[in-house]
Amino acid sequence: MALTHPFPTATVLGYPRIGRRRELKRAVESFWAGRTTADELESTALALRRDTARHLVSLGLDADGGAVPGSFSYYDQVLDAVALLGAVPDRFAGLTEAGPGGHGRLPLAAYFAVARGAGDAPPLEMTKWFDTNYHYLVPEIGPGTPIAFADDRVVREFTELARPDDGGAPVVTRPVLVGPVTFLLLSKAADGSPEGFRPLDRLDDVVDAYAGVLRALAAAGAPWVQLDEPALVTDLLGAGFDEVADAVRRAYARLATDLAPGRDRPAILVAAPYGDLRGGSGDGLALLAGTDVEAVAVDLVRGSAPTGAVPGLDSTTLVAGVIDGHNVWRADLGARLADLEGLTAAGAGAVTVGTSTSLLHVPHDVADEPRLDSALAGWLAFADQKVAEVVTLATGLTQGREAVADRLAESAAAVRSRAAAPGVVVPAVRERTAALTPEDAERAPYARRAAAQRERLDLPPLPTTTIGSFPQTAEIRAARAAWARGELSDADYTAAMRGQIAATVALQEELGLDVLVHGEPERNDMVQYFAEQLDGFATTVNGWVQSYGSRCVRPPILWGDVSRPAPLTVSWTAYAASLTSKPVKGMLTGPVTILAWSFVRDDLPLGETAEQVALALRDEVADLEASGIGVVQVDEPALRELLPLRTAAHAEYLDWSVRSFRLATAGADVATQVHTHLCYSEFGQVIGAIDGLDADVTSVEAARSRMEIVPQLADAGFGRGIGPGVYDIHSPRVPSVEEVTELVTLAAKAIDPRLVWVNPDCGLKTRGPAETRESLANLVTATRTVRATL
């Protein structure tokens, strides 16, 4: 197929859209608060898109030909596809207005209403995007959901940059859309859909609408469009390879074959980020090569490079994702260039350079980190550095190594300096993990532990507790901010936090809870708090990445061997315990969750890093015990999140993740009660692992699914303490006594009531003090009612 526009030699699959100083977050939130109008928000966003596109050109991407991705979103790219298609659930239908062709288009306020809820209409559900900590909104598709080319925002955004009216330089971008197959595989069947209906049944309608979008983009002059199809790299979306392959063939026959490139549509890049296109039960690369799309982007960080000729690839450009879009390390450019050179074996029509994923998952710029250790800074590449790396590799590939010799040398020097730097490999840490034996991960049998704990703790049936955090009030946040600015002394800060702890302990005693907590007032974040105190981690100042909507996080950077220079939590917990005769539960974040919410090192297997973190926590557990604490909770909310996208990799992951939890906790005395807590998910795939953690008590999110997890655990033979959440902490609504009574009764019927604990779904840090008090009071009253019937 003759191409008018060859694919650019260097590109990235997407770029952060929140702005270097979170300008978009601020603009969106001030629109939500009614302080600015939709027009003002639109003009801030336009300015941001222009700055971003021109900035990418200044970093070396071509200004024309579609090298710069058009990957902006006000909230979420999956929601954008919902808006593009007008595929709005009935409960929001009243908010749409007529768009092109008279289809229902969402004005900005309505777009945000779908994301955040409006009045009685709950928002779309939110869930994690592949194996990242980014959350997307789950489309609801039924047989009657409207699907058409309803909103031409993507076309307008292209035109605004290609033909700018601000007198600035034009940039011909490459619009980025979620691909039709992935869109439907990420959707759930709308409520009321007939038995057996699956969103993928609507593929032809979605593809028709996309055909309309592609025509409009071609008419506007877009040389390339990018359709993201990461559904091709996962086994976790409930469709087998053959079904996905069939959908891909149908979709791209219609989009790529039936529409004439250059006339009816732009040239098409299909991107398959986040994993191995060739790691499932079929070869996704051969599948895509067999379609008429002009280019395919593969993730060569997570995925494997083809070792021989791929049929059909000779007429396709292979966009080799050799720069990691999902982590922050500077690449070894010489090695990556060798990888690119090795790709000739695949027999692609052309090979160009890209990132493995969108750069959405990394911060903007290492140069923006004034407080980072300068050696560490030299080993890192955030989004801007990664763009430069891609450009360097493309130059090396097209002009030869000599053309970039100095940059290859610099990169090699950075890699060498990192490997040899103090703290990266700490012999004492390595010796300790090397000496571990299987017994280090084993506790005494549960029956013995349970007896010893019964005697020590003397708890009533259906013991009540909370998950750890109490409301993070404005007062607490203000104290921490003042302390960080140096305006509050260490002593005054400690006194302020102790005051909070005392109030929280008093509240729990007054309410009559059985196992108390200190309330976690001193924690900014359940991972960052630990990362700030452990050796081997660094934290950033401006390293924000989007978590969902306007919510951003600053993941710590785990760069070296991990150890614990001093106790992390003991003084706070011991202080709480000194105020009450009831048991106080110590609170730790587990190794898997600490890794999941940090940037992890790429020079050590994750399982080994997890062991190091686990041993640091094990020492903390010992120190808590030594200070008299008899209950310790190790939270693992991210256990499910790190589950590999390919089922073939599950066993190995579950093995090291479960082992790291056990290493953290197995040093505990038989009479010390070990709790764990999990939330955020369908636990189906990790039920066995939950059992494998061997915790004495496991609390899980369950209120919204009405205790669904309890029979699942019972069926799996789970025989230790279980606290299914009876109160949904994601909403300010106070659960009634009747409601909680019903849920507790349900749990006590599904499983031996002697195993049942009563607790909320998760921590209370985002809740207000008044609703927290009322909800917990109802929880205790309901528990007493059920206890009386036992």
Residues marked active site are found at 730
Does 552 count as an annotated binding residue?
Answer: yes
Site for Zn ion in 642-681 (CB under 5 A): 679
544 Cβ contact list (under 8 Å, min separation 6): 18, 22, 363, 552, 553, 554
Q: Is 468 annotated as a binding residue?
A: yes
Binding letters toward Zn ion, positions 745-764, x by CB under 5 A: -----------------x--
469 known ligand binder: yes
501 is in an annotated binding site: no
List the 631-635 sheet strands across, edge first: 585-589, 631-635, 673-678, 697-700, 721-724
C-beta atoms surrounding 693 within 10 Å: 23
Minimum CB–partner distance for residue 523 and ligand MET (Å): 8
Side-chain-side CA neighbours of residue 524 (13 Å): 17
Q: Say if residue 542 carries a ligand binding annotation.
A: no
592 lies in the site for Zn ion, by CB under 5 A: no
Cβ at position 762, least distance to ligand MET in Å: 5
Token representation of residue 519: 């309330």
Q: Which is nearer to Zn ion, 22 or 730 (CB)?
A: 730
Q: Name the residues that contact ligand MET, by CB under 6 A.
A: 467-469, 520, 526, 587, 635, 637, 677, 679, 762-763, 765
Element (H, E) at 744: helix 737-750
Beta carbons of 748 and 790 less than 8 angstroms apart: yes
- Residue 468 contact partner, candidates ligand MET, Zn ion, none, CB within 5 to 8 A by sort of partner: ligand MET
Between residues 152 and 520, which has the closer beta carbon with respect to ligand MET? 520
DSSP 8-state symbol, 459: P
State the number of binding residues for Zn ion (CB under 5 A).
Answer: 3
Q: Is 149 exposed, middle or buried (0-12, 13-18, 19+ CB in 10 A)?
A: buried
Looking at residue 199, the DSSP 8-state letter turns out to be G
Question: Residue 635 CB, nearest distance to ligand MET (Å)?
Answer: 4
Whole-angstrom distance, CA of residue 9 vs CA of residue 55: 18
Strand pairing category for 697-700 and 721-724: parallel
597 is in an annotated binding site: yes
The rounded distance, in Å, linking the Cα atoms of 674 and 698 is 9
Q: Pairing relation of β-strands 97-98 and 104-105?
A: antiparallel
Tell the smallest beta-carbon distance from residue 646 to Zn ion (Å). Answer: 27
Q: Which is nearer to ligand MET, 668 or 764 (CB)?
A: 764
- Tell me if 637 contacts Zn ion by CB under 5 A: yes
Helices (H), 584-733: 591-596, 606-626, 650-665, 687-692, 709-715
Cα-trace Rg, the chain? 27
Q: Nearer Cβ to ligand MET, position 637 or 667? A: 637
69, β-bridge pairs = 174
In the complex with ligand MET, the residue whose CB is nearer, 292 or 525, is 525
Dist. CA 180–CA 210, nearest whole Å = 8
Angstrom distance (rounded) from CA 534 to CA 589? 12
Compute CA distances 728 → 462, 551, 759, 760, whole Å: 19, 20, 10, 7
Q: Select from ligand MET, Zn ion, none the partner in contact with residue 28, using the beta carbon and a kind-dependent cut-off of 5 to 8 Å.
A: none
Least CB distance to ligand MET at residue 525 (A): 9
The CB-of-702 to Zn ion minimum distance in angstroms stands at 11
Instruction: Tell me which of ligand MET, Zn ion, none is bound by residue 469, counting a contact when its beta carbon lies within the kind-specific cut-off of 5 to 8 angstroms.
Output: ligand MET
Cβ 474 to Zn ion, closest distance in Å? 22
Binding flag, residue 515, Zn ion (CB under 5 A): no
CB atoms within 10 A of CB 51: 14
Structure-block tokens of residue 584: 């106080």
CA distances for 404 relative to 342, 390, 392, 407, angstroms? 18, 12, 7, 5
Q: Quick one: what does residue 765 bind among Zn ion, ligand MET, none, with the CB cut-off 5 to 8 Å set by partner type?
A: ligand MET
710 close to 746: Cβ distance less than 8 angstroms: yes
Residue 229 near which of ligand MET, Zn ion, none (CB within 5-8 Å, type-dependent): none
696 binds, among ligand MET, Zn ion, none (CB under 5 to 8 A by kind): none
Least separation, in Å, of the C-beta of 593 and ligand MET?
8
Q: Is 688 annotated as a binding residue?
A: no
CB 621 within 8 A of CB 573: no
Q: Is 522 annotated as a binding residue?
A: no
CB nearer to Zn ion: give 441 or 516.
516
Which amino acid makes up residue 133? Answer: N
Q: How far apart are CA 56 and CA 67, in angstroms?
A: 9
* Residue whose beta carbon is closest to ligand MET: 763
Q: Output 81 or 587, the one with its CB closest to ligand MET.
A: 587
Residue 749 in marked binding region:
no
Q: Read off the tokens for 687.
A: 């039920």
Please say which residue, 256 or 697, places its beta carbon nearer to Zn ion. Answer: 697
- Residues annotated as binding site? 25, 133, 467-469, 520, 551-552, 597, 635, 677, 679, 701, 762
Annotated binding-site residues for Zn(2+) read 677, 679, 701, 762
> Footprint of Zn ion on this chain (CB under 5 A)?
637, 679, 762
Annotated binding residues for L-methionine, written as ranges, equal 467-469, 520, 635
Annotated binding site for 5-methyltetrahydropteroyltri-L-glutamate: 25, 133, 551-552, 597
